[in-house]
Amino acid sequence: MSNGYLVVASQKESFYRLAINCLESLKDYYPDAKCCLVTEERFLDGRESIADDLIFCGDHYREKLWGMSQSPYDTTMYIDADCEIVHEDIATVFDELNGNDMVFHTLPKEGKPIFVMYDFTCEGKPEQFTYCGGVCLYTNKEFMFDWYVLYLKQFSKIWKPDIQPWDKLYYFDQTTLWWLLNKDFRHKDIKVGTFKDNLRWNYYNGYAELKMFPKQEVIINHWSKGSPK
Amino acid sequence: MWGLIEHRYKMRNWDKDAFWETPRKAVLNCISEREDGNKKIRQVHKLTEEDPLFKQCVDALGEEHIDENTKRRVNIKFEEQKKRQELEESKIKAKQLEQLFNYKLKTFEVEEIKLSQNRELKSKLRRAKSIPEVNLWAIKIMDDYLNSE
C-alpha cells in the first residue's frame, strides 16, 4: 500500500508557485515523503523536480478534483496549493484514516466570520457546510472522479439542485461535496471521518484573527486569505 | 408647572443596575419605572447630588448595593476592553504573518534563489520569522548559488 501527498496547480502561474512552496515545505519537514504535483505543462520551470510524480492537467480552476482522482497513491493526502507544512507530524497523517474512506477538516461554527459560505438551504431546509475540501485524506478515487464530474455539471448549470442561494453556490465545489455525501445514494456507504485536533491539519490564517488555536502545534498553515493568487 | 414637578417626584421603582459614573459618586446612572394611568414609563437618568431623585434612588437601592454594582460593571468593561484589544492584536499579528508569507514567496522568485538547489538554505528561508531574517537567508542562498556556478 502506497501513501503520498498531492497538490494541484492549474489556471494561474501563481498557483504553481504556491504549489512548489507547499511541496518544498513538505520535504523540509518530511524529506522521505512521496508527493505528486498535478499542474499544467506551461508552468514548469525546473522546480517541479521536487515532486516524485508529475501529472499534467487542464486549465480549469477546479482541476483539483480531477487531479485528486488521478492520484498515483493508494492513500493520498490532498493539500491545497496555498498551504504550507510547518511541522514534522505531517508524516503521521496517514494514521488519521482510521478505517475511513475519507477524512476531512471540519469547519468550526466559531469560524463562520471568515468562511466564504457556511449556511444554506436545501429543499427549503437549513443546512451547513461542515467539511472543507482544503485538505483531504482519502483512498476512494472513484468518489473524487464523481465529485469532479458532478461539479462540472453544476458549474455549467446542467445540474441544478434546490440549493439556495444558488447564484453564490453553483461555482463552489463544497456544494457538490455536500450533495454527494448527503443526498447521493451511490455514496451512502462511504465512511467519512474528521481529523483529530481538527485545526492542526488545516489552519486558516483567519483563525488566528479569531483567536482560534489547535490543542497542539499547527501542522498545515492555509494561506487562503491574502495570498497572491 | 406645579403639576409637572409633582409628576416628576411621583413614587418610582428603581432598576437594580444603577451605578456611579464618577469615582467621587457625584453622578448616578440609573433607570426608574413609574405608572402613569395605565402606562408604564421607563426612564434613564444621570442624576447629580442636587437632584432630589438622586437621594430617592440611593435610599431605595442602598449605597452599598450601588458601590457593588459599579465595581462589577467596571470589571466587565475592563474585561471587554481587554478582549477587544487582544482581538485587535491578533488581527495585526495575523496580517504580519500573511505579509511575511507573501514576502517569502516573492523572494523565492528571485532568479538565483529560484535556480538554487541548496534545499537546506531554502528551508531556512521558509522558516524565517521576520523580513530581515528572510533577507539574510536570501543573501546566503544567492551567495551560495553564485559561488557554485
pLDDT, tens digit only, all 149 positions of chain B? 444 445 555 678 999 999 999 999 999 999 999 888 888 899 999 999 999 999 999 999 999 999 999 999 999 999 999 999 998 998 899 899 999 999 999 999 999 999 999 999 999 999 999 999 999 999 999 999 999 87
**Are B75 and B43 contained in the same domain?**
yes
Q: Verify whether the Cβ–Cβ distance B126 to A24 is below 8 Å.
A: yes
Whether chain A has a CB inside 8 Å of the CB on B92: the answer is no
Q: Which pLDDT belongs to residue B1?
A: 41
CATH number for the domain spanning A165: value is 3.90.550.10
Whether chain A has a CB inside 8 Å of the CB on B97: the answer is yes
Residue A227, domain member (yes or no) = no
**Are B11 and B78 contained in the same domain?**
yes
Nearest to A209 among B91, B104, B114 (CB): B91
- Contacts of residue B91 in chain A, CB cutoff 8 Å? 209
Q: Which pLDDT belongs to residue A229?
A: 62
**Are B81 and B133 contained in the same domain?**
no
Q: Which residues, other chains included, contact B88 with Cβ-Cβ below 8 Å and sequence gap of 6+?
A: none
Distance set, CA A138 to CA A80, A160, A181, B75, B85 (Å)? 14, 27, 14, 50, 41
Q: Which residue has the cell 466570520?
A: A113
Boundary of a domain, candidates B60, B86, B112: B86
A77 - beta bridge partners? A5, A137
CA distance A115 to A107: 8
Q: Verify whether the Cβ–Cβ distance A84 to B126 is below 8 Å.
A: yes
Q: Which pLDDT belongs to residue A228?
A: 62
Sheet containing A192-194: order of strands: A53-56, A35-39, A3-9, A75-79, A131-138, A102-106, A192-194
Whether chain B has a CB inside 8 Å of the CB on A226: the answer is yes
Is the dihedral angle over the CA atoms B43, B45, B49, B54 positive or is it negative? positive
**Are B47 and B73 contained in the same domain?**
yes
**Are B98 and B74 contained in the same domain?**
no
Q: Which pLDDT belongs to residue B39?
A: 87
Residue A82, domain member (yes or no) = yes
Nearest to B105 among A17, A27, A211 (CB): A17
What is the pTM for the complete model shown? 0.83
Q: Which pLDDT belongs to residue A112?
A: 86
Domain range for A74 is 3-222
Q: Is A122 exposed, middle or buried (0-12, 13-18, 19+ CB in 10 A)?
A: middle
Residue of chain A whose Cα is closest to the Cα of B126: A25
Q: What are the DSSP E strand ranges found in chain B?
A: 13-14, 19-20, 27-36, 39-48
**Are B6 and B76 contained in the same domain?**
yes
Q: Output b/e per residue, A56-65; b: 16+ Cβ within 10 A.
A: ebeeeebbbb
CA distance B149 to B145: 6
Q: Which pLDDT belongs to residue B7?
A: 54
Distance set, CA A94 to CA A28, A99, A121, A130 (Å)? 18, 10, 34, 21
DSSP letter for each residue of A90-137: GGGGGGGGTT-SEEEEE--GGGGGG-S--EEEETTEEEE--EEEEEEE
Question: Which residues of chain A carry a pLDDT beneath 70?
Answer: 226-229
Whether chain A has a CB inside 8 Å of the CB on B109: the answer is yes
Nearest CA-CA distance, residue A207 and chain B, Å: 9
Residue of chain A whose Cα is closest to the Cα of B123: A28
Tally of domains in chain B: 2
Nearest CA-CA distance, residue B44 and chain A, Å: 35
Boundary of a domain, candidates B65, B86, B107: B86
Boundary of a domain, candidates B70, B86, B102: B86
Strands B27-36 vs B39-48: parallel, antiparallel or unpaired: antiparallel
Q: Which pLDDT belongs to residue B11?
A: 75
For residue A51, which of A85, A87, A22, A82 has the smallest C-alpha distance? A22
- Share the mean pLDDT of chain A: 94
Residue A209, domain member (yes or no) = yes
Domain range for B99 is 94-148
CA distance B34 to B60: 14
Nearest CA-CA distance, residue B136 and chain A, Å: 19
**Are B100 and B77 contained in the same domain?**
no
Q: Output b/e per residue, B58-80; b: 16+ Cβ within 10 A.
A: bebbeeeebeebbeeeeeeeeee
Residue of chain B whose Cα is closest to the Cα of A213: B90
Strands B13-14 vs B27-36: parallel, antiparallel or unpaired: antiparallel
Nearest CA-CA distance, residue B110 and chain A, Å: 12
**Are B75 and B27 contained in the same domain?**
yes
**Are B60 and B119 contained in the same domain?**
no
**Are B78 and B43 contained in the same domain?**
yes
**Are B78 and B8 contained in the same domain?**
yes
The grid coordinates of residue B34 equal 413609574
CA A135: distance to chain centroid? 4
Q: Which pLDDT belongs to residue A227?
A: 61
Distance set, CA B147 to CA A109, B111, B141, B142 (Å)? 53, 15, 10, 8
**Are B8 and B50 contained in the same domain?**
yes
Nearest to B126 among A25, A46, A223 (CB): A25
Q: Verify whether the Cβ–Cβ distance B98 to A206 is below 8 Å.
A: no
CA A229: distance to chain centroid? 16
